[in-house]
């Protein structure tokens, strides 16, 4: 049952059970953001399925939070992000999982585990997606406040495009002044027509759309805009609607909870676990360029996805497109800066990850169904791609 609010920091949710076994403190932002709500949903979903956790949610926006946590004497703590505005944080002697990067955390938690976004991976996925849609020139707009995730996304986005020899430049907003608006105008006008802008975050993406409206820059006719986060309440209430990369924050909460569960059992889970984009929502702010090469890429991906369970090879993709193996390899290299084999492997790993999370099928069978003849080889590729073992991945999604 869910009890009503007792106070800003005393939101209490008890998982239905005869007797609570583990008291878990979830320290969350007090603003009720979509991101924190999705992370909390992942934590609570894990807790409900276990039926042996008593979860209490504490808002972290004021200095009473730490004494409240200490008085409750939790067995474990999950922190959505580093609490702000709280001084005098005590040193806890219970397992702690923090949904933030270790570089950003200043709390005295030397043995904590961390769950945070794979920001470089997000940037690489943005490049793959936008280049695959036919864009050939790009811009990146940073978050106004300096932060690590923005630096990682921006640096990797520009580095990947530089490897492809595609033009890219970035813009760093300073404030909301007219001077800043004029600087943005000068920067945006230097971008070739038909360029794609990646905004560091949905908030930044909304600001870019607002600036373009003020300056008379048509979106998406002149510039397309893609942001990161996919807060639906923001992205679908802008003009035009904002295309965005959906970060799997629900899975972040589930990963944090499963990591804490492993610590409570005396296990040694990885110090850092990352999560990333699970899908991209194309809305009106994004208008992909289309040409014959893009159409063939779309045809190739449709064929690969439809035949994922079959042991298809590069020659099969070439036959589907009606061209030689060399031609299809050149098409993928020119358009996606990747080989057909690498794309096949990536798609198979993604399908394998979904099956591991959503079923109890033995790993050997999943590997075979996903097109891998060697289970040990598949496990090495899986850990390299997702940062955790197949067992840890399954434990994060099931109990």
CATH number of domain containing 378: 1.10.10.60
Burial code of 186-218, b = ≥16 C-beta within 10 A, e = fewer?
A: eebeebeebbbbbbbbbebbbbbbebbeeeebe
HSE, CB side, 13 Å, CA atoms: give it for residue 361: 15
* Dist CA 353 CA 346 (whole Å): 11
**Sorting pLDDT into bands at 50, 70 and 90, what band is 291?**
low
* Domain extent for 213: 119-248
Whether residues 102 and 127 fall in one domain = no
* Dist CA 261 CA 257 (whole Å): 6
- What is the share, in percent, of the chain residues with pLDDT greater than 70? 86
* Dist CA 37 CA 22 (whole Å): 22
What is residue 227's three-state secondary structure?
strand
What is residue 195's three-state secondary structure?
strand
Neighbouring CB atoms inside 10 A of 79's CB total 24
pLDDT in the model for residue 393: 80
Whether residues 195 and 214 fall in one domain = yes
**Sorting pLDDT into bands at 50, 70 and 90, what band is 186?**
very high
Q: Could you tell me the sign of the dihedral formed by the alpha carbons of 42, 44, 50, 54, in that order?
A: positive
Instruction: Give domain status of residue 43, yes or no.
Output: yes
Q: Of the candidates 76, 79, 45, which has an alpha carbon nearest to the alpha carbon of residue 59?
A: 79
The tokens of 218 are what?
């048509």
pLDDT in the model for residue 257: 94
Instruction: Give domain status of residue 286, yes or no.
Output: no
Q: Rounded to the nearest 5 degrees, what angle is found at the Cα of 313, between the Cα atoms of 307 and 316?
A: 70
Whether residues 111 and 123 fall in one domain = no
Whether residues 53 and 97 fall in one domain = yes
Question: Final residue of a domain: which of 275, 310, 337?
Answer: 275
* Dist CA 350 CA 385 (whole Å): 9
Q: Of the candidates 93, 76, 100, which has an alpha carbon nearest to the alpha carbon of residue 26?
A: 76
CATH number, domain of 30, equals 3.40.50.2300
What's the distance, CA 184 to chain centroid? 27
**Sorting pLDDT into bands at 50, 70 and 90, what band is 343?**
confident
Residue with tokens 């073992």: 389
With 0.75 as the threshold, say if the pTM is over it: no
Whether residues 84 and 183 fall in one domain = no
* Dist CA 157 CA 43 (whole Å): 31
235-268: pLDDT as tens digits: 988 989 999 999 999 999 999 999 999 999 898 8
Q: Of the candidates 27, 21, 20, which has an alpha carbon nearest to the alpha carbon of residue 1?
A: 20
Whether residues 108 and 182 fall in one domain = no
How many separate domains does the chain show?
3
Whether residues 161 and 18 fall in one domain = no
Instruction: Give domain status of residue 287, yes or no.
Output: no
Instruction: Give domain status of residue 244, yes or no.
Output: yes
Q: Do residues 23 and 72 make contact, with C-beta atoms less than 8 angstroms apart?
A: yes
Whether residues 42 and 78 fall in one domain = yes
What number is the average pLDDT over the span 143-147? 86
Whether residues 24 and 130 fall in one domain = no
Instruction: Give domain status of residue 89, yes or no.
Output: yes
290 burial type by CB count under 10 A (0-12 exposed, 13-18 middle, 19+ buried):
exposed
Whether residues 299 and 372 fall in one domain = yes
Instruction: Give domain status of residue 112, yes or no.
Output: yes
Q: Do residues 140 and 198 make contact, with C-beta atoms less than 8 angstroms apart?
A: yes
Whether residues 241 and 227 fall in one domain = yes
Q: Do residues 99 and 80 make contact, with C-beta atoms less than 8 angstroms apart?
A: yes
The tokens of 304 are what?
């690969």
In this predicted structure, the answer to whether residue 20 has a pLDDT above a threshold of 70 is no
Instruction: Give domain status of residue 282, yes or no.
Output: no
What values do phi and psi take at 231, rounded to 5? -75, 105
Of 40-54, 173-187, 290-304, give the lowest mean pLDDT range: 290-304
Whether residues 236 and 264 fall in one domain = no
Instruction: Give domain status of residue 5, yes or no.
Output: no
**Sorting pLDDT into bands at 50, 70 and 90, what band is 92?**
confident
* Dist CA 308 CA 70 (whole Å): 51
pLDDT in the model for residue 1: 35
């Amino acid at each position: 049952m869910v009890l009503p609010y007792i106070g800003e920091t005393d939101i209490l949710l008890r998982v239905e059970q005869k007797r609570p076994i583990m008291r878990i403190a979830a320290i969350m932002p007090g603003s009720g953001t979509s991101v924190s709500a999705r992370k909390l949903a992942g934590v609570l979903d894990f807790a409900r399925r276990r039926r042996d956790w008593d979860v209490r949610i504490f808002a972290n926006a004021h200095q009473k939070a730490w004494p409240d946590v200490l008085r409750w004497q939790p067995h474990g703590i999950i922190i959505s992000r580093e609490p702000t505005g709280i001084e005098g944080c005590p040193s806890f002697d219970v397992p702690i999982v923090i949904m933030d990067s270790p570089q950003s955390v200043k709390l005295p938690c030397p043995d904590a585990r961390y769950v945070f976004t794979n920001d470089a991976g997000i940037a690489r996925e943005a490049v793959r997606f936008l280049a695959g849609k036919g864009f050939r020139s790009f811009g990146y707009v940073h978050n106004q406040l300096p932060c690590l995730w923005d630096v990682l996304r921006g640096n990797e986005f520009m580095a990947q495009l530089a490897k492809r020899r595609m033009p890219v430049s970035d813009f760093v907003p300073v404030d909301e002044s007219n001077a800043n608006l004029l600087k943005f105008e000068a920067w945006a006008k230097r971008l070739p027509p038909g360029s794609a802008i990646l905004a560091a975050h949905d908030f930044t993406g909304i600001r870019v759309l607002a600036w373009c409206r003020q300056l008379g820059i048509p979106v998406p006719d002149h510039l397309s805009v893609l942001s990161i986060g996919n807060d639906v309440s923001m992205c679908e209430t802008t003009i035009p609607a904002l295309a965005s990369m959906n970060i799997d924050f629900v899975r972040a909460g589930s990963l944090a909870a499963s990591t804490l569960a492993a610590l409570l059992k005396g296990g040694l889970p990885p110090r850092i676990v990352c999560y990333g984009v699970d899908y991209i929502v194309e809305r009106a702010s994004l208008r992909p360029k289309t040409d014959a090469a893009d159409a063939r890429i779309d045809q190739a991906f449709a064929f690969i996805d439809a035949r994922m369970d079959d042991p298809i090879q590069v020659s099969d993709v070439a036959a589907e497109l009606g061209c030689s193996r060399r031609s299809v390899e050149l098409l993928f290299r020119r358009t996606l800066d990747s080989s057909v084999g690498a794309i096949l492997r990536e798609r198979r790993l993604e399908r394998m990850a979904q099956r591991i999370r959503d079923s109890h099928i033995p790993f050997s069978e999943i590997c075979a169904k996903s097109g891998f003849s060697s289970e040990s080889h598949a496990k090495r590729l899986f850990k390299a791609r997702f940062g955790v073992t197949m067992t840890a991945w399954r434990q994060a999604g099931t109990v």
